[in-house]
């Protein structure tokens, strides 16, 4: 029995190491490309360590006009969008977790239907345009304040709280809103941190909606970097075709690192909540 368990442990460790390496090596390779010289990239000399170390790709990205403004826009969209989304979803999920609330089942069914069926791009654009949100930062925040999947997770999480806690608070004179703010939200740290991380990643990575609804001064950094990547064919007009392509590869690699590094750095601070939050709202037998 012990031998079988030890063999199983070894297999689990091997599988986990394989997954970690397969996820980590491409990222290391991209970092090496972003810091390597065009000649080394042309000669396929780059593996997992920069060859001909230089920071020209990052220098070109940082020297683009309005780059730091776009980065500031993304930080604003991520922070404000996540805060608005968490507030709205908590205030929406808590009432829907009460079976005695009239119309609760109907509203919940509408939420589920909207998760599978949407109006499409043109109706969404017409709606946001008629609301007067196009050309404003609200176009990146309000339409995406509620994610149906995260909302259902929060509903199930609030349902899992013991009813005795709320009944005792009601006897002590607290209303439902104060129960939510004083008791339930402090006990929901894991769930809110996990959903907040998912929401922050969405707002950080979103570029398509910015392309549709915003003007150039309001662009998020992902859209800005996308435009840089699409414009790498014009980089180094005096160079040859091979140099252009390798400069483009180096800049694209630098763009990937620049755009993903902040979220990667954020994860360790939320990791302690993440594992616990993954089971939030799950069915318990």
Six-digit token string for 23 = 């996820």
Six-digit token string for 81 = 């969008």
Q: What is the pTM of this model?
A: 0.78
The pLDDT score that the predictor gives to residue 52 is 79
Report the C-alpha gap between 163 and 22 in whole angstroms.
46
The pLDDT score that the predictor gives to residue 78 is 92
181: left (phi over 0), alpha (psi -120 to 50) or beta: alpha
The pLDDT score that the predictor gives to residue 77 is 93
More confident of the two residues 274 and 284: 274
Half-sphere exposure (CA, 13 Å, Cβ side) for 160? 16
Q: Which residues have C-beta within 8 Å of that of residue 146, sequence separation ≥ 6? A: 85, 88, 89, 92
Contact predicate 95/101, CB 8 Å:
yes
pLDDT band at 268 (very low <50, low <70, confident <90, very high): confident
The pLDDT score that the predictor gives to residue 76 is 93
Q: Is the pLDDT reported for residue 261 higher than 50?
A: yes
Report the C-alpha gap between 72 and 116 in whole angstroms.
33
What is the arithmetic mean of pLDDT over 46-66? 81
Q: How many residues does the chain have?
A: 285
Q: What rounded mean pLDDT belongs to the chain?
A: 81
Report the C-alpha gap between 215 and 69 in whole angstroms.
13
Give SS3 for 2: helix
Q: How confident is the model over 188-239, as pLDDT tens digits?
A: 887 888 888 889 889 998 888 888 998 888 888 888 878 777 765 444 444 4
Q: Is the pLDDT reported for residue 241 higher than 60?
A: no
More confident of the two residues 136 and 261: 136
Alpha helices (H) in the chain, listed in sequence order: 2-34, 38-42, 56-62, 67-96, 104-116, 121-130, 138-141, 148-159, 163-171, 176-179, 185-187, 189-205, 208-213, 221-230, 241-278
Contact predicate 133/213, CB 8 Å:
yes
Q: Minimum mean pLDDT among 58-62, 133-137, 180-184, 277-281: which range? A: 277-281
């Amino acid at each position: 029995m012990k031998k079988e368990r030890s063999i199983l442990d070894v297999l689990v460790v091997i599988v986990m190491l394989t997954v970690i390496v397969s996820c980590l090596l491409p990222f290391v390779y991209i970092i090496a490309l972003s810091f390597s010289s065009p000649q080394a990239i042309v000669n396929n000399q780059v593996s997992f360590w920069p060859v001909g170390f230089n920071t020209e790709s990052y220098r070109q990205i940082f020297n683009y006009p309005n780059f730091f403004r776009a980065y500031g826009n993304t930080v604003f969209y991520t922070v404000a969008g996540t805060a608005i989304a968490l507030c709205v979803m908590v205030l929406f999920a808590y009432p829907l977790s009460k079976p005695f609330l009239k119309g609760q089942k109907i509203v919940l069914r509408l939420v589920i239907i909207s998760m599978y069926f949407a109006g499409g791009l043109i109706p969404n654009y017409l709606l946001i345009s008629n609301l007067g949100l196009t050309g404003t930062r609200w176009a990146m925040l309000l339409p995406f304040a509620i994610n149906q999947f995260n909302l259902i997770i929060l509903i199930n999480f609030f349902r899992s709280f013991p009813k005795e806690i709320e009944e005792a608070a009601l006897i002590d004179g607290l209303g439902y809103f104060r129960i939510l703010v004083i008791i339930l939200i402090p006990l929901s740290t894991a769930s809110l941190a996990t959903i907040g991380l998912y929401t922050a990643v969405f707002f950080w990575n979103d570029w398509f909606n910015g392309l549709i609804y915003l003007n150039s001064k309001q662009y998020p950094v992902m859209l800005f970097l996308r435009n840089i990547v699409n414009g790498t064919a014009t980089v180094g007009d005096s160079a040859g075709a091979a140099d252009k392509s390798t400069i483009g590869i180096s800049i694209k690699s630098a763009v990937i690192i620049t755009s993903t590094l902040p979220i990667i750095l954020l994860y360790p601070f939320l990791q302690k909540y993440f594992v616990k939050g993954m089971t939030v709202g799950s069915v318990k037998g």
